[in-house]
Amino acid sequence: MTTELAAAVTADPAAPAVLRDLVFAEPVGFRPLSLDLHRAPVAGAPVVVFVHGGGWRVGSRRDMTPTMPGDAPFARIAAAGLTVASVDYRLSGEACFPAQVDDLAAALAWLREHGEELGIDASRIVLWGESAGATLAALVALGPDDARAGVRGVVDWYGPADLVTLAEGQDALDDPGLREAGWLGHAVGADVDRAHAASPVWRVAPGAPPFHIAHGTSDGAVPPSQSVAMAQALLAAGADAELTLVPGAGHLWQGEVDREAILDAAIAFARRVTS
């Protein structure tokens, strides 16, 4: 999107509610990376940066989860006064860790650079990730100050927090076919230090932003113990962290669960930390 078009969009109240395919980065040798902007009906709104899941292997910025598809969840967030930027990142078949963390940091930098043109307040950002996307959101939020500038909080939906513990639980430390191995570029046990570097629980330190963590008790893909460990580490570091374990919910919020209530709780957190 050109600067001229962005300025026109900001000035025109009749502009589309969703701006699609805005290129925010063009990594050399890779496809351009884009985001979709779901605009809040107010100028200068805070920004939710949504990071999709998919085991780092698959997934799309078009959907929040397979059980909450399409624009409706993003529209619900926007209606609450929060513009949503749903972002691409390179998948593990394209590049290994830390490329995906770099891509998310690049999206934040682009939003900060173009915030005024887009009519958003990029000094008030909430990173909101789902599954593998939650891992990426947490890594940026717990990373260098320049990369996480403006980040006021993190919504972490059932994100892997400790890759080593996760692989051990599957007796798969040496399995190169594990989704975590595909992301790292090697079996998790082949370089434990590198696996720790890709694990948010090992990156927690004093000064971490607030976290809202939610996880289903019947999640068979990422055990809820991962989120329990993450919450405990954040609280031990003095961070503001809230953990909700949703009875009977599977991965991707599968099962007979109140998805609207789960979504609304995350929205309430995002509004609180950006107010």
- DSSP assignment string, 92-121: TTT--TTHHHHHHHHHHHHHHHHHHHHTEE
Beta-strand ranges (E) seen in the chain are 18-25, 33-38, 45-51, 83-87, 120-130, 151-157, 211-216, 241-246
166: tokens are 């996760």
SS3 141: helix
Can you state the angle between helices 132-141 and 99-118, rounded to 10 degrees? 70
pLDDT, mean of residues 126-134 = 98
- What's the whole-number average pLDDT of the chain? 95
Mean pLDDT over residues 115-135, rounded? 98
Decide if pLDDT at 212 tops 60: yes
In terms of pLDDT, which residue wins out, 12 or 131?
A: 131
pLDDT at 5: 44
Residue pair 110/122 in contact by the 8 Å Cβ criterion: no
At 5-47, the pLDDT tens digits run 444 454 455 567 999 999 999 999 999 999 999 999 999 999 9
Q: Which two three-digit tokens encode residue 138?
A: 């947490």
Quick one: tokens of 168?
A: 């051990």
Place of tokens 């100028």: 43
Nearest 5°: the CA angle 128, 39, 210 is 25
- Is residue 223 over pLDDT 50? yes
> Mean pLDDT throughout 251-267?
98
Q: Are 156 and 211 in contact (CB under 8 A)?
A: yes
Interval 119-133 mean pLDDT = 98
Each residue's pLDDT tens digit, 189-201? 999 999 999 999 9
Whole-number Å distance between alpha carbons of 227 and 224: 5
| Residue 9 pLDDT | 53
Using alpha carbons only, what angle is made at residue 185 by residues 49 and 172, rounded to the nearest 5 degrees?
100
For the stretch 90-107, pLDDT in tens is: 999 999 999 999 999 999
2 has a pLDDT exceeding 80: no
Output the pTM of the full model.
0.95
Contact by Cβ (8 Å): 208, 237: yes
Question: Is it the case that residue 52 has pLDDT exceeding 50?
Answer: yes
25 φ/ψ angles, rounded to the nearest 5 degrees = -160, 150
Q: What is the pLDDT of residue 12?
A: 55
Q: Distance between CA 5 and CA 115 in Å, rounded?
A: 13
- Return the pLDDT at 92: 98
The mean pLDDT of 149-161, rounded to a whole number, is 98
In this prediction, residue 3 carries a pLDDT of 46
